[in-house]
Chains A and B, each alone.
Chain A
Amino acid sequence: SSELTQDPAVSVALGQTVTITCQGDSLRSYYATWYQQKPGQAPVLVLFGQDTRPSGIPDRFSGSTSGNTASLTLSGAQADDEADYYCSSRDTSGVLYVFGTGTKVTVL
């Protein structure tokens, strides 16, 4: 298996831009998927593939990958974006899945 490492916490001023990163060897072969989780709620898929948002996810969420690092960028952060964000991908075997350590985003 493989590990995905994220910064534990970041903060962003209302309306500003923040980027969350996810590092891991498997990201050289597989795209990251990003999930948003608010307290007491199930996670929600917000980004997958190269940079694809599911229906209903605002276009202020975008993604990119370079080498072993995937990034989720939140442009024009809103109070409602305050949540924990997890990356995920297949592991290096390509068969199993792994989650990142999670990043708590605070909107100031």
Chain B
Amino acid sequence: EVQLVQSGSEVKKPGESLTISCKASGYSFINYWITWVRQVPGKGLEWVGKIDPSDPDMLYSPSFEGHVTISADKSITTAYLQWSSLKASDTATYYCARLGIGGMDVWGQGTTVTVSS
């Protein structure tokens, strides 16, 4: 079964660092880009960026570039989304998704990040 399993919910304080993960299984990890998507509570989906696990080549939405870092470790078929200094406005659910030929065809279950002092 093709699946993406994300790490658990996180509660952090502003200024703290955080890395969340997305473990892929059931397919060849290096053959598909992984994307990250943000959803602020009660709001729509926002595309954060993507990574080619085989390269790795990363591309970011201008709205997120410089504030998050996407990485991947192909040896353990896992992608990551990282912050060095969280803000309250980072509070959201973050999804990873596999980027197939037609679109984001497999999604993780989401990781909820809460940033509050």
Residue positions of A touching B, CB distance < 8 A? 1, 33, 35, 37, 42-45, 48-49, 52, 54, 84, 86, 88, 95-102
Contact = CB atoms under 8 A, between A and B. Distances in A.
Contact of B35 (A52, A97, A101): A97
B66 interface: no
Given A54-B105, A97-B35, A43 B45 contact: yes
B33 to A, nearest CB: 10
A49 B35 CA distance: 19
Interface of B: 35, 37, 44-47, 50, 59-62, 95, 97, 102-105, 107-110
B47 A44 contact: no
B104 A33 contact: yes
B10 to A, nearest CB: 17
A52 B50 contact: no
Contact of B47 (A42, A49, A52, A96): A96
Nearest to A37: B45
Contacts of B95: 42-43
B4 to A, nearest CB: 9
Which of B35, B104, B109 has the most A CB atoms < 10 Å from its CB?
A: B104
Contacts of A37: 45
Contacts of A84: 44
A98 B47 contact: yes
Given A96-B61, A99-B47, A102-B44, A44 B102 contact: no
B59 A95 contact: yes
Contact of B102 (A42, A48, A99): A48
Nearest to B38: A99
